Amino acid sequence: MEGSPMERMKRTTLVHPLPQSSSSSPAPASLHASDQTKPACPLRPSMTLQGELVAQIPGLAEVLKGGSWTQPTCLCCSSNNVEPLVLVQLADRIDPVTKKWIISRLEAPMKEGGAALLVHSGEDDGGNVLVLSAPRCTQLRVTEDLGMWKPYMDGNMVAFSYDDRKSFSNVDDMQVFLTLAERQYVVKYQLDSLRAKKDRTIPGVPESRGVLFARESIFQKLEKVGVVKAVIALHDQRRLGDLAKAWYSGGQLLGQPLDSIQAYFGTSVAFYFSFLDFYTWALVPPAVLGVVLTLFPVGSGVTHNAAAQEPDEDEPGIPVSGLVLQAMFSMLWSTVFMEAWKRRTAVLSYRWGTLQPTERYAEPRPGYKGPMGRNPVTGRPEPCFPDWEHKLRVGISVPVVAFFLGLVALGMTMFYYFEAVARHFHEDGGTWLSVPLLYLPSVAHILYTNVLGTLYGNVALGLTEWENHRDESSFQNHHTTKVLLFNFFNCFAVLFHIAFIRQDLALLRKRLASLLIVTQLLNQCTEVVVPFLVDRIFSDGTKKPKEDDPEEDRLRAQGRLPPFPGLFPEYIELLVQYGYLSLFSCVYPLTAVLLLINNITEIRTDAFKICRLFRKPCSAPVSNMGVWQPAFEVLGFVSVISNCWLLLLSPGVRRFCQEGGFSSRNALLFAVLVEHVLILGKMILAFVIPDEPGWISLKKQELEFRSMQAFNQQLQQ
Amino acid sequence: MEGSPMERMKRTTLVHPLPQSSSSSPAPASLHASDQTKPACPLRPSMTLQGELVAQIPGLAEVLKGGSWTQPTCLCCSSNNVEPLVLVQLADRIDPVTKKWIISRLEAPMKEGGAALLVHSGEDDGGNVLVLSAPRCTQLRVTEDLGMWKPYMDGNMVAFSYDDRKSFSNVDDMQVFLTLAERQYVVKYQLDSLRAKKDRTIPGVPESRGVLFARESIFQKLEKVGVVKAVIALHDQRRLGDLAKAWYSGGQLLGQPLDSIQAYFGTSVAFYFSFLDFYTWALVPPAVLGVVLTLFPVGSGVTHNAAAQEPDEDEPGIPVSGLVLQAMFSMLWSTVFMEAWKRRTAVLSYRWGTLQPTERYAEPRPGYKGPMGRNPVTGRPEPCFPDWEHKLRVGISVPVVAFFLGLVALGMTMFYYFEAVARHFHEDGGTWLSVPLLYLPSVAHILYTNVLGTLYGNVALGLTEWENHRDESSFQNHHTTKVLLFNFFNCFAVLFHIAFIRQDLALLRKRLASLLIVTQLLNQCTEVVVPFLVDRIFSDGTKKPKEDDPEEDRLRAQGRLPPFPGLFPEYIELLVQYGYLSLFSCVYPLTAVLLLINNITEIRTDAFKICRLFRKPCSAPVSNMGVWQPAFEVLGFVSVISNCWLLLLSPGVRRFCQEGGFSSRNALLFAVLVEHVLILGKMILAFVIPDEPGWISLKKQELEFRSMQAFNQQLQQ
């Protein structure tokens, strides 16, 4: 989960104008050939980048040419080629004492409470940049801590064990063993895990600005007091170029290089693109059905036509059975789609080594607060916050969120009320002076919605922080859920109002069509045209690109880019789309076709965006797309209710009832019956389709069995 | 799960008239004092019962006095006091060769494919009785196999490990370490696990009667060819007496000695009584509400009165809100009840050491068939049946079951149809000759239902066998589900017909009241009066009990008792009760009171039944009450729908609508809305209440973490 746009406020990954890159490592394919990363001459202290690499990255070269890398203490970590992974941007006028202290904390071994990283302090001691890398030992230890699965020598994926590192494939070559995203996350994890041993002041920072309490996250504190301005994962231009080529600029229309995406951007981004891919393919059957229903409006099509004009008595067909068939198809499709995606998720997370992340046994997230204690499971010292208080706080959040959703509903009601008042006033005795009055409710509503949205964004973030989640994924899920509910409610309140309160299907269809088309156009604008123009402007902005140094030029352009806004906007766009499709599909059968066209371009534009328009995201390995999965599933259930209701309102069904002599009460009863049967069918189907393929269950069982046996044997020792 | 009445057909635990008992071990409280079970003189071969014990159990003494017990091969298992646990009843005219072969298989160590049990062959080699016990090593190994948790030296419950046996509390004294039920199940497990190594004939049994195929269960085959007539877990009269005293004859009305029940009868019986206890206490709030509503019929009571007479316009109150309140209460109650029970289940299964049974890693059930292969997880040789074929067969079972449910519905429809025809015929021009015709449909329907029930029982058992489940619990759950659905449908089809098709609330109330009262009376008759009379007759049947030998007398009486019919009838009774209560609670508020009274006596009569009227059950340790838990939960959801519908039909609400000017369509809409809100509330509540207390989750996590660590360390070795 990259999180919501509000994430930006939390993570102080502010843009650093200095161009950086890390093409020190060749592309994965050529990694085996270059064995220079192996400890050719152990304990050799001159840890500078190779000449050719420095020449290749002028911006970084400047930063790195002054100082030198930390010398690792152990043999295995020595290497004459240190890969710069993460850049820490310090305050402009940092006290050298503070910088020295930070470096000492970063370099200190884990036993002494340090981060055990490799640090390059930049041009000189007064510089405001630190470049970080992680030695092999740290990489491997964190890999075990995170519960990552890696290929064992027998070819299976097994949870990585530091003690048994020799039995894993490629463990000698960290460039192959871990992906770039993983290596960078290791550094980030170590930064986050860096905690004060006891209450103390930060050297060079006056006590008035902040005291480090025991076990407080050092880097979070440093960011709070303004010493650290940003922590930035470095891009690798050569790999990025290869990825971009394989992804969107290579001219291929089908398929995405998912494994390369995972290697470069990490699992959370890879899961988003996998889902987008999967979802787009899944849109084909409903799109075909939509086209068929539109071209041959016999049967189910009746509703569509009948509502646009006045009901036409000549029209033939069996509308009710056709519509029920469509509702059935929609139910089946959404269930099978989500279940199939769950299975795909299991396969992908096995392949990417994140099948069973052990986050709860790893370090708590830096924002986790509480009196010092010991983790009851692992026995490690960490903040311990009472579980009941955490749950109480989560409970208290619920009415707060509900209150804001109530405010959205209130705003909508007020808008409709004042719009009616204004119209009446104008019609009754208004002059040209009262014309602006007609627009006043709309303007007020837009303002109200925006103010409310901003306010809610802050409240949601604050509440989630206050809930004090131990695990990052838990924090993300709670925060995403809060923002998601609000956004979704905001998007669909009007449509639900039209469908359920006004019961005006024609208006609903018009609104839906315009929303879909406007969304498409907006998407194309914001996601294709604007980026394209931005790209052009960038190319022209620095005048002509110098023929001899295109790399520096690109880096400078990259410096101007905004930080990655997280995947929330991408996911919510898909969810809203899916909402249009599933909730109101029987009103506007062409929805799926429009969405299919949209998504095919969406894949490329999103790829372009993440590669070129933002800085590199760096997030924890995840095993699925988090709270978005239940969100899509819940929508599936709501859609059954919604479709049954729309069926009931559809003119075709109404006419059928009139002709058949059914009372409206009996029609309603029938609709309720159909709804219950469909929901029951959906639940049974979801229960019957296993959430993971058999072979993955077997792998898990095997691991459980072997762990059990190992545990029994260990007890004995 | 003890299983359904049809279980009897499957398990050939036919009554053996020989009196047996095993009071060789004192009651648990005094076990620490008598250290005679400890290996006082290792390798002492004379493994006879102590003199005083033999005197105490004359029936058993006769059996045991001729031969002697197997001599265990290992030091630790030697004991001068072998406890008879299980009795195998052989065919009357068994070939001594066959008997010898069976004994050799039972005595052989596990390495050689034997059961590693202690066998006593009875008076002489020609006798048709084998008494079995298990040596300490076998007991401990099976305890590990079953994944039982036992108290570790640090006081925690930990999955038992044979290699680390010395660190567990009381491991030297098997009488304390394992309960009687567990010790007996160990023997049964070993019998079930006894499989042929390769295709062979049974010595002394002609090839025409049966060939043992490789890996076929030997004891199942022996039962099939009639060599083994029954396998009976032996009662321990002294413990049983103590248990009975503490349970039902001690004069205490509240509470049951659940731990003693678990120790004596095993976890599945203990879970039933725990649930019965829990459920009875949970009935108090709805009973109080029912009494209040009946005594003060203001508000919600309106429905109750209004339907009995014609709606009374004078009547005051706010019926609708009162009824909605009642529906809300019912929803809340059923959800909290089930969630609290789940938590209680977790606590009990932790206490009883069955929190995480590892059945799927243990031996498959004896009935499991398939070509020989290796278990993909444990690597042990066992039959391997393709998973897809198993699932396909389960899938095929569904329409078969549905077909039988359809037959039930058809029967009911035919009954109503022919009843109407007969009545019309009689009214139109019938004479006294046509009077019997009026009873014909009822008689035909009863016959039809009975024939169908018997047929279905066989079909359900056959289908479940054919589905070929690997684990006993899976078999039990599928079988129970099949029988349960049919029984439930049979019980409630008529009530649903009255409530939903006829929509006749007055008739529903009458029917419900009569069912409840008839059920009560029948219960009292079959469960109190009959057993009481049976007990009297038994006491008188053998003339006067001899003052000097009451034990033998009691044993003889026990010999005449039927085998334990399993817990299915007990559970289905509770489920049907719960159905009356939750599905139609708003029609007849006194239901809970009647059920509360019934259950208080039910606890005692059930206890009496299981202690005195049947032979001792012997079942695998289980961690919950199996499929009954979801059955109760599903009923909770159905009850929301049912109650909302009954609300809508209730005269109070109808009158309210008429007075308020609501159309019946809007009233229906409102009811549907209430239903959806209640179901949503129920789901949220069930989601929010954790299924197990926090400390149990912690224990599980701790175990998982330690297993993970142990696994990582083991890889290294």
Q: Reduce the secondary structure of A411-464 to three states and give it as a string.
A: HHHHHHHHHHHHHHHHHHHCCHHHHHHHHHHHHHHHHHHHHHHHHHHHHHHHHH
Give the one of B163, B378, B712 whose C-beta lies nearest to A705's C-beta: B378
* pLDDT band at residue B278 under the 50/70/90 scheme: very high
CB-CB neighbors (< 8 A) of B672 in chain A: 668, 672
Q: Which residues 333-362 of B have a C-beta within 8 angstroms of A? A: 358, 360-361
Note the pLDDT tens digit of each residue in B446-504: 899 889 999 999 999 999 999 999 988 899 999 999 999 998 888 888 888 888 888 88
Residue among A635, A639, A643 at smallest CA distance from A671: A643
Beta-carbon separation of A712 and B361 below 8 A = no
Mean pLDDT of chain A: 78
Q: Is B34 on the interface with A (CB under 8 A)?
A: no
| pLDDT score of B469 | 93
Q: Which residue has the higher pLDDT, A77 or A178?
A: A178
Beta-carbon separation of B159 and A711 below 8 A = yes
Residue among A505, A550, A495, A552 at smallest CA distance from A648: A505
**Interval A122-147 mean pLDDT:** 81
- The answer, yes or no, to whether residue A520 has pLDDT greater than 90, is no
Give the one of B664, B668, B708 whose C-beta lies nearest to A707's C-beta: B708
For B712, name the nearest residue in chain A, comparing CA atoms only: A161
Interior angle at CA B630, CA B624 and CA B635, nearest 5: 135
Beta-carbon separation of A712 and B664 below 8 A = no
C-alpha distances out from residue B262 to A233, A311, B273, B441, B617, Å: 59, 70, 10, 47, 12
| pLDDT score of A555 | 44
- The answer, yes or no, to whether residue A169 has pLDDT greater than 70, is yes
Residue among B481, B484, B478, B452 at smallest CA distance from B466: B478
* pLDDT band at residue B21 under the 50/70/90 scheme: very low
C-alpha count within 13 angstroms, C-beta hemisphere, residue B47 = 25
Q: CA-to-CA distance for B307 and A663, rounded, in angstroms?
A: 25
Beta-carbon separation of A707 and B703 below 8 A = no
* pLDDT band at residue B41 under the 50/70/90 scheme: very low
Q: Is B392 on the interface with A (CB under 8 A)?
A: no
Which DSSP letter does residue B402 get? H
Beta-carbon separation of A710 and B710 below 8 A = yes
C-alpha count within 13 angstroms, C-beta hemisphere, residue B86 = 27
Closest-CA distance of chain A to residue B164, Å: 4
Closest-CA distance of chain A to residue B329, Å: 21
Note the pLDDT tens digit of each residue in A410-460: 999 998 898 888 888 888 876 777 788 888 888 888 899 889 999 999 999
For A667, name the nearest residue in chain B, comparing CA atoms only: B665
Given the structure tokens 């023997």, which residue do they identify?
B187
Note the pLDDT tens digit of each residue in A196-238: 888 888 888 888 877 888 778 888 888 888 888 888 888 888 8
Q: Which residue has the higher pLDDT, A528 or A175?
A: A175
Q: Which residues 690-709 of A have a C-beta within 8 angstroms of B? A: 694, 698, 701-708
For B152, name the nearest residue in chain A, comparing CA atoms only: A715
For A42, residues 6+ apart whose C-beta sits below 8 A from its C-beta are A75, A78
Q: CA-to-CA distance for A659 and A416, rounded, in angstroms?
A: 36
- The answer, yes or no, to whether residue B304 has pLDDT greater than 60, is no
Q: Within a 10 A sphere around the Cβ of B595, how many other Cβ atoms?
A: 25
Beta-carbon separation of B159 and A708 below 8 A = yes
Give the one of A669, A698, A706 whose C-beta lies nearest to B668's C-beta: A669
Domain boundaries, chain B: 22-32+44-234, 258-385+468-708
B86 token code pair: 């299980």
CB A303 within 8 A of CB A323: yes
Which amino acid is present at B191? L
Q: CA-to-CA distance for A643 and B635, rounded, in angstroms?
A: 26
| pLDDT score of B55 | 38
CB-CB neighbors (< 8 A) of B701 in chain A: 360-361, 377
CB B31 within 8 A of CB B173: yes
Residue among A80, A102, A82, A81 at smallest CA distance from A91: A102
Q: CA-to-CA distance for A540 and B665, rounded, in angstroms?
A: 67
Closest-CA distance of chain A to residue B493, Å: 17
CB-CB neighbors (< 8 A) of B394 in chain A: none
Range among A316-320, A487-491, B110-114, B544-548 rated most confident: A487-491
Closest-CA distance of chain B to residue A87, Å: 33
CB-CB neighbors (< 8 A) of A672 in chain B: 668, 672
CB B116 within 8 A of CB B135: yes
For A420, residues 6+ apart whose C-beta sits below 8 A from its C-beta are none
Residue among B563, B611, B552, B620 at smallest CA distance from B21: B552
For B656, residues 6+ apart whose C-beta sits below 8 A from its C-beta are B319, B320, B662
CB-CB neighbors (< 8 A) of A161 in chain B: 711-713, 715-716
**Interval B436-444 mean pLDDT:** 84
Closest-CA distance of chain B to residue A271, Å: 26
Residue among A163, A217, A228, A230 at smallest CA distance from A12: A230
| pLDDT score of B202 | 85
Q: Is A376 on the interface with B (CB under 8 A)?
A: yes
Beta-carbon separation of B708 and A159 below 8 A = yes
First to last CA, chain A: 41
* pLDDT band at residue B13 under the 50/70/90 scheme: very low
CB pairs under 8 A between A and B: 105
Q: Is A641 on the interface with B (CB under 8 A)?
A: yes
Beta-carbon separation of A698 and B159 below 8 A = no
Q: Is A161 on the interface with B (CB under 8 A)?
A: yes
Closest-CA distance of chain A to residue B388, Å: 10
For B676, name the nearest residue in chain A, comparing CA atoms only: A641
* pLDDT band at residue B440 under the 50/70/90 scheme: confident
| pLDDT score of B289 | 86
Q: Is B503 on the interface with A (CB under 8 A)?
A: no
| pLDDT score of B50 | 35
| pLDDT score of B5 | 41
Give the one of B144, B665, B713 whose C-beta lies nearest to A712's C-beta: B144
Q: What is the pTM of this model?
A: 0.82
Three-state DSSP at B65 gives coil
* pLDDT band at residue B305 under the 50/70/90 scheme: very low
| pLDDT score of A223 | 87
Note the pLDDT tens digit of each residue in B386-415: 888 999 999 999 999 999 999 999 999 998
**Interval A63-85 mean pLDDT:** 69
The strand pair at A129-133 and A118-120 is best described as antiparallel
Q: CA-to-CA distance for B253 and A588, rounded, in angstroms?
A: 66
| pLDDT score of B298 | 53
Mutation target to probe the A interface, by most A beta carbons within 10 A, among B153, B664, B685, B712 is: B712
Beta-carbon separation of B715 and A163 below 8 A = yes
Beta-carbon separation of B702 and A377 below 8 A = yes
Backbone angles phi, psi at B120, to 5 degrees: -120, 120
Q: Which residue has the higher pLDDT, B300 or A457?
A: A457
Q: Which residue has the higher pLDDT, A524 or B51?
A: A524
Q: CA-to-CA distance for A71 and A63, rounded, in angstroms?
A: 18
Q: Is A672 on the interface with B (CB under 8 A)?
A: yes
Q: What percent of chain B has pLDDT over 70?
A: 79
Q: Give chain B's length.
A: 717
Query: CA A45 from chain center: how many Å?
Result: 41
CB-CB neighbors (< 8 A) of B712 in chain A: 144, 159, 161-164
C-alpha distances out from residue A621 to A158, A267, B160, B705, Å: 16, 5, 35, 19
| pLDDT score of A22 | 37
Give the one of B147, B665, B705 whose C-beta lies nearest to A378's C-beta: B705
Beta-carbon separation of A712 and B676 below 8 A = no
* pLDDT band at residue B97 under the 50/70/90 scheme: confident
Q: What percent of chain A has pLDDT over 90?
A: 21
CB-CB neighbors (< 8 A) of A641 in chain B: 676
Q: Which residue has the higher pLDDT, B299 or B139?
A: B139
| pLDDT score of A75 | 65
Q: CA-to-CA distance for B217 and B225, rounded, in angstroms?
A: 13
Given the structure tokens 């004896």, which residue do they identify?
B366
